[in-house]
Amino acid sequence: MKKNILILTCCILLPFLSTRASGQDSVEAKLQSLSIDFFKHIASSEYSDASMLFHYPREYTSEKRSEQILDVSKLLNIFTDEFGLPSSFKVIETPSPCYNVTVCGGDVQYWQEHPSYTQIPLEVVFSKEKDGYVIILFSNILNRWEIRAVAYGLPAQRPGAKERVVEIITKMLKTLQPEIQKPPKKEKYPIVLASNK
């Protein structure tokens, strides 16, 4: 079944943006706050709370929205299990070429209709995978800033990076696969013979 999801120590993220036009101060403060909240939840293994910071299409039913929040939560848990917690955050202009995995709410078609976004690329050190990147994308839909997507990546020049990321993607896809229902076992009932005597 196709899913509509594409495929962290509290931060020292406060000084991550340089001073810009005063009109952007509130936007930068909001993006900074979302980033800090995200990493706090991840560091505390509060994946459900972290997934609530993501944007989900407004037209989703409450059931569909709950399903996506659960799926995003599961994928964020895999990020931590596989990459470890990020630390040593450093904002960079553009990350070097890397292999990455991404999690977001919505689907490709939905995001094609909402192409505008702002991103914060971070160079980090993962507790399990060492040097890498976290890229947080934000969207402002219906006048509200929310996380659009989060990508964890490994430098392309690192030996085995591609294979490691493919392995993580495979785990993510398996996690989102619905469990195959086994047919019920045929119960053997004792045969009772009745007679008219």
183: confidence class by pLDDT, cuts 50, 70, 90: low
Q: Please tell me the predicted confidence (pLDDT) of residue 95.
A: 82
Find the domain containing 165 and state its range. Answer: 22-176
Average pLDDT over residues 125-151: 96
Domain of 27, CATH number, reads 3.10.450.50
Strand 86-91 with 130-140, pairing? unpaired
- Asked whether residue 65 is domain-assigned, the answer is yes
94: confidence class by pLDDT, cuts 50, 70, 90: confident
Average pLDDT over residues 121-147: 96
Q: Please tell me the predicted confidence (pLDDT) of residue 89.
A: 95
For the stretch 164-171, contacts whose Cβ atoms lie closer than 8 Å and that sit 24 or more positions apart, written own/partner, are: 164/99, 164/129, 165/99, 165/100, 165/101, 168/78, 168/82, 168/83, 168/101, 169/7, 169/101, 171/78, 171/82
Our CA dihedral for 45, 47, 49, 50, rounded to 10 degrees, sits at: 100
Q: Work out the percent of the chain whose per-residue pLDDT is above 90.
A: 71
What is the average pLDDT score of the chain? Answer: 84
Q: Are residues 55 and 138 in contact, defined by beta-carbon separation less than 8 angstroms? A: no
**Structurally, how many domains does the chain consist of?**
1
Is residue 137 pLDDT above 50, yes or no? yes
Is residue 197 pLDDT above 60, yes or no? no
Q: Please tell me the predicted confidence (pLDDT) of residue 2.
A: 36
Select the more confidently predicted residue: 190 or 152. Answer: 152
**For the segment 44-61, what is each residue's pLDDT rounded down to a tens digit?**
999 999 999 999 999 999
- Asked whether residue 17 is domain-assigned, the answer is no
pTM value is 0.79
- Asked whether residue 111 is domain-assigned, the answer is yes
Is residue 152 pLDDT above 60, yes or no? yes
- Asked whether residue 108 is domain-assigned, the answer is yes
- 3-class state of residue 146 by DSSP: strand
